[in-house]
Amino acid sequence: MTERKSFDEQLEDTKADVVKLAALVTEQISRATSSILDGDLAAVDAVYAEHTNIGELNREIEQRAYSIFALQQPIAIDLRVLLAVLRILHELELTANLMRNVARATRRLYPRELSPRIRGILEHMGSQASTQIQISIDAFADNDASAAAALPDMDDIMDELQKDLFRAIFAEGAPDESALQQAVQTTFVGRDYERAADHAVTIARWVRFIATGQLPGHAAEE
C-alpha cells in the first residue's frame, strides 16, 4: 500500500509540474506578444532566456515520466496519464518554440511599427492562444474531458482572426521592399499564433484520451 501511495504521489507531482510548465509557456505567449506589439527588444531577450529554462524543465519532467514507466507498474488509467503527459510535453515544447519565433520576428521588424489594425489583430491572437492553452491545461489538471471537448470549437475563433490578419495585410499593400518584408514577417507571426492554438487543441485531445482511452486522430474520436 505504501509503494502504491508513493507511485500515486509521483504521478501527481509529475502532473503538477506539467501544469507549471504550461504556465511558463503561457507567460511566453504574453511576453512574445508584448515584444512584437511594442518592438520591445528587451522582451525578446527575456523570451530567449526563459526558453532555455522551459527546455530544461521539459526534459526533467520527460525523464521522470520515463522513469515511472520503467520502475513502477502503472495500471491502465495511469498508463494513459503518463502517455498523455509525454505527448502534452511535446505540444508545450512546440508552443514555446513558436513564441521564440514571434520574438525573433520582433528583431526582424525593428524599428518599423505595426499599423493599429494589424496590431489589434495580433494582440487578439496572442490572447486567444493564451486562453486556449490555459483551458486545455486546466482540463488536464482537473481531468475534465467536457472542457477539453470545447477546444476544437474555440479554435474557430483563431481561424477567423488569421483570416482577418490576411485581409488587413493585403489591404495595406506593400509599396516597397521594406513594407513587403514587414508583411511577410507579420504573416509568419499570425501563423505562429494559429499553430499555438492548434497545439492547445491537441493537448485537449490527449486529455480526452485519459478519460476515454480513445487515441487522438482515431476515426471514432468525435
Give residue-wise pLDDT tens across range 25-70: 999 999 999 999 999 999 999 999 999 999 999 999 999 999 998 8
Question: Does residue 217 fall inside a structural domain?
Answer: no
Tell me which residue of 164, 35, 50 sits closest to 108, measured CA to CA. 35
Report the number of distinct structural domains present in the chain. 1
C-alpha span between 101 and 139 (Å, rounded): 27
Question: Does residue 108 fall inside a structural domain?
Answer: yes
Give residue-wise pLDDT tens across range 81-105: 999 999 999 999 999 999 999 999 9
Would you say 100 and 47 are in contact if contact means Cβ atoms under 8 Å apart?
yes
Question: Does residue 218 fall inside a structural domain?
Answer: no
Tell me which residue of 86, 88, 90, 102 sits closest to 28, measured CA to CA. 102
Question: Does residue 109 fall inside a structural domain?
Answer: yes
Domain residue limits at 104: 2-212
Q: CATH number for the domain including 55?
A: 1.20.58.220
pTM for this predicted structure: 0.93
Would you say 110 and 41 are in contact if contact means Cβ atoms under 8 Å apart?
yes
Question: Does residue 221 fall inside a structural domain?
Answer: no
Question: Does residue 220 fall inside a structural domain?
Answer: no
Q: Inter-axis angle of helices 151-172 and 177-212, to 10 degrees?
A: 180
Give residue-wise pLDDT tens across range 102-121: 999 999 999 999 999 999 99
Question: Does residue 121 fall inside a structural domain?
Answer: yes
